[in-house]
Amino acid sequence: MTGNRNAHPESGSIEVICGAMFSGKTEELIRRLKRARIARLHITLFKPRVDTRYHSEDIVSHDQSRIEARPVAHSSEVLEQVGTTDVVDIDVVGIDVVGIDEAQFFDEGIVDVARKLSARGIRVVVAGLDMDYLGVPFGPMPALMAVAEQVTKLHPVCMECGGPASHSFRIVPDDNQLMLGEKESYEPRCRACFNRGMQNP
Ligand SMILES: [Zn+2]
C-alpha cells in the first residue's frame, strides 16, 4: 500500500461538533483540522452550496479564522470528490481527515457518506446546528450524532440571562428554516429564555 499512513479501516471515526448559533462550532472544526494539518495529515473540507454568507470557497467562522472549503450541492459529491467511490481507491487520493461544516443543511445521505468515509479509515469531523430556530432537531444532525464516536456540544452565552445557551432564538420575523446565521438575526438563549421568547414574541 502506498499513500497516506492513516488509511486503515480501523483508524476511521466520526466526530460531531454541535450547538446553538455562536457556540464556536466552526472555530472548533477549523482548530481540529489545523491540528491535523500540523501533524502532516491530508485534510479536506466541504460545506453545502447553500451557505454563501461570506466567501464561496473558504469556510470563515464568525471570528474570521478561515480554511479553504469545497462547496457541494449534494452529499454524494463528497464521496465523489474524496474518491471513495468503488472506482477510485482512497490510497490513491490519500485523504486522512474530512471536515464537513454546516452539516444541518445537507441531505440525509450525508450520514451514510460519513459512515462510508470512516469505514475507509478516514477521520470525519462534522460541525452543525443541532436544532433549528424552533428548537426542532435540524436535518441529518440527530442521525450524525447517533453514529458518531464523539459528540461535542458547545454552549454560547444566553443573551437574556448570561447562562449557558442551547437554543438559537430568531429575533427577526421569518419562517424560512434556511435563513442563515447573520448576527443580527439570531441570539443564543438558554432553554428557559428561549421558551419565554417563543411564548411572547
Ligand atoms: Zn437564559
Q: What's the pLDDT tens digit per position in 87-140?
A: 444 444 589 999 999 999 999 999 999 999 999 999 999 999 999 999 999 999
Mean pLDDT, the chain, as a whole number? Answer: 85
Residue 4 has pLDDT above 90, yes or no: no
| Backbone φ and ψ of 116, nearest 5° | -65, -40
- pLDDT, residue 182, reads 62
Query: Which residues are near ligand 1, the ion (C-beta closer than 5 Å)?
Result: 158, 160-161, 163, 190, 193
- pTM of the predicted structure, to 2 decimals: 0.84
| Backbone φ and ψ of 168, nearest 5° | -110, 110
- pLDDT, residue 139, reads 96
Residue 71 has pLDDT above 70, yes or no: yes
Sign of CA dihedral 24, 25, 28, 30: negative
| Confidence tier at 172 by pLDDT (50, 70, 90) | confident
Residue 8 has pLDDT above 70, yes or no: no
Q: Beta strand 43-48 with 70-72: parallel, antiparallel or unpaired?
A: parallel
127 contacts 28 by C-beta, under 8 angstroms: yes
- pLDDT, residue 84, reads 56
- pLDDT, residue 11, reads 83
**In angstroms, what is the span from residue 165 Cα to ligand 1's centroid?**
7
**In angstroms, what is the span from residue 164 Cα to ligand 1's centroid?**
7
- pLDDT, residue 2, reads 41
Is 184 annotated in the active site? no
Domains along the sequence of the chain with CATH = 9-154 (3.40.50.300)
- pLDDT, residue 94, reads 83
Question: Of residues 10, 15, 68, 102, which has the active-site annotation?
Answer: 102
Cell numbers that stand for 132 in this block: 433549528
Residue 56 has pLDDT above 50, yes or no: yes
- Give the percent of the chain with pLDDT over 90: 67
